Amino acid sequence: MSDDDVARALAGARTDRTPPPDLEHATLAALRSRGAFAGSMRSRVRSRLMQAMLVAAALAIGVWIGSMRAPRAVPAEPRFLLLVYMNPEYRPDGTGDVAREAEYRAWAEALERDGHLLIGNKVAWGGVEFRPNRPRIERASVPTPDEARGLFVILAPNEQAALAIAETCPHLKYGGRMVLRPMS
Amino acid sequence: MTEEAEPADAVLIRRFVEGDERAFVCLYRRHSPAVYGLLSRLVSPFDAEAADLLQETWIRASARLSVFRGDSRLRTWLSGIALNCYREWRKRTARYSHVELGEMAAWTDPDPSSDITRVLESLPVAFREVLVLHDVEGYTHEEIARLIEIEPGTSKSRLSRARDLFRRRWQQQSGADCK
């Protein structure tokens, strides 16, 4: 096999690849939160003025409604933190990333519909570590079995019920490690 | 009846700068597959990292699209930003050896990749990136040198060794597949 053969084989590897479908949504959300779609300076000023007026109006309405009715009670159901790890035994058995993420998302959405989920998120590797009087450390963005890859805040009447909910997570069937901790 | 032509990148960029979200979506859908393909080949088999890097690429690009002068094609410009994101990722992960990364790859996302991708994945990172950038993406040694902060001569010698290793592993795999 000559260099030309290698080059030919590799030239054929230059293929496009469809990104995960939820990435578009996540990217748009990230850009919205940065005000990327606020438009030109004039429209930004206009939109900020509009926002200020809306906030003032909402405050006025809120004060008026608040004066008429008692504050709503916050549901006090116990909360449990469910952490998901990518341990070496985790074997997705050839399930594609996209299909697997959709499976986890469907599970979380079903819990949310049933009122059992407060928060559900995949967690990126890396991040920043900091403590008082020490320089900040930018952590390597690489997979590790020791740190959570996903977190869920589950609402359940007690630990047994929370455990029963956690056991329905697709992560278990792939051999993934999970930790459930009550939140005080 | 004629089909309506898709707006050119320049038109979409102008609309995006004016705050049109749909224009951004069009640009994202048009160019992401190429940029994601490039990033995937570089960080394979860590697909989740490729996705994170693609998102970072678009976030950075969106902040600079208003000053994009059109001297190069938008895809080339985006690839440059993607490669900067990759270079920073690579620096952050440099303290991990290839062996560790390879072991991790065994339990991260398995990818139904092609034979060539599998052989590329098996190469040490330093070899793979030169091979991908030169032979797959068509960058020159001078460009590669700037991108990954090595000397052009180092890029040339790495490419030669990378091709040699690729060839051997490719032949090994072909032999294994025939058994």
Q: What whole-number distance in Å separates Cα of residue B144 and Cα of residue A89? A: 38
Q: CATH assignment of B113-179?
A: 1.10.10.10
pLDDT-wise least confident of A29-33, A46-50, A69-73, B155-159: A69-73
pLDDT of residue B89: 83
Q: Are residues A68 and A84 in the same domain?
A: no
A168 lies in a domain? yes
User: With 50 as the cut, is the pLDDT of residue A74 above it?
Assistant: no
User: With 90 as the cut, is the pLDDT of residue A95 above it?
Assistant: no
**Please, what sign has the CA dihedral across residues B56, B62, B64, B68?**
positive
Q: Are residues A132 and A92 in the same domain?
A: yes
E strand or H helix at A50, and its extent?
helix A41-68
Secondary structure (3-state) at A83:
strand
Taking Cα atoms as reference points, which of B26, B82, B93 lies closest to residue B59?
A: B82
Q: Are residues A164 and A121 in the same domain?
A: yes
Per 3-state DSSP, chain B is made up of helix, strand and coil in percentages (nearest 5) of 75, 0, 25
**Please, what sign has the CA dihedral across residues B7, B8, B13, B15?**
negative
- The whole-number average pLDDT for the span A123-136 is 81
- The whole-number average pLDDT for the span A56-77 is 53
User: With 60 as the cut, is the pLDDT of residue A7 above it?
Assistant: yes
> What DSSP string runs through B104-128?
HHHHS------HHHHHHHHS-HHHH
pLDDT of residue A96: 72
> What DSSP string runs through A105-163?
HHHHHHHHHTT-EEEEEE--S--EE--TTS--EEPP----TTSEEEEEEEE-SSHHHHH
Do you know the residue count of chain B? 179
Q: Are residues A38 and A113 in the same domain?
A: no
Chain A CB contacts of B24 under 8 Å are 28, 31, 36-37
Q: Are residues A153 and A89 in the same domain?
A: yes
> Do residue B18 and residue A142 have CB atoms under 8 angstroms apart?
no
Q: Are residues A39 and A98 in the same domain?
A: no
Contact at 8 Å (CB) between B98 and B125? yes
Rounded to two decimals, the pTM is 0.55
Q: What whole-number distance in Å separates Cα of residue A146 and Cα of residue A174? A: 17
> Do residue A13 and residue B89 have CB atoms under 8 angstroms apart?
no
A12 lies in a domain? no
Q: What whole-number distance in Å separates Cα of residue B45 and Cα of residue B41? A: 8
Residues A146/A132/B96/B90 CA torsion (nearest 10 deg) = 120
pLDDT of residue B27: 95
Residue range(s) defining the domain that contains residue A47: 20-72
Nearest CB neighbour to A37, from listed B21, B32, B163: B21
pLDDT of residue B47: 75
pLDDT of residue A45: 58
Give the pLDDT confidence of B91-133 residue by residue, as tens digits.
776 544 443 344 334 333 334 346 777 788 888 888 988 999 9
Q: Are residues A95 and A155 in the same domain?
A: yes
pLDDT of residue A47: 56
Structural domains counted in chain A: 2
User: With 70 as the cut, is the pLDDT of residue B56 above it?
Assistant: yes
> Do residue B107 and residue A89 have CB atoms under 8 angstroms apart?
yes
pLDDT of residue A76: 66
Q: Are residues A123 and A141 in the same domain?
A: yes
Q: Mark which of A6, A40, A72 sits at the end of a domain.
A: A72
Nearest CB neighbour to A11, from listed B33, B95, B135: B135
A4 lies in a domain? no
Closest chain B residue to the Cα of A176, Cα to Cα: B107
DSSP B134: I
Query: Average pLDDT over chain B, rounded to whole?
Result: 80
Q: CATH assignment of B1-107?
A: 1.10.1740.10
A11 lies in a domain? no
- Is B55 near chain A, with CB under 8 Å? yes
Chain A CB contacts of B46 under 8 Å are 142-143
Burial of A138 (0-12, 13-18, 19+ CB in 10 A): middle
Domain ranges in chain B?
Answer: 1-107, 113-179
How far is the alpha carbon of A144 from chain B, nearest alpha carbon, in Å? Answer: 8
Q: Are residues A26 and A56 in the same domain?
A: yes
- CATH code, domain carrying A93: 3.30.70.1060
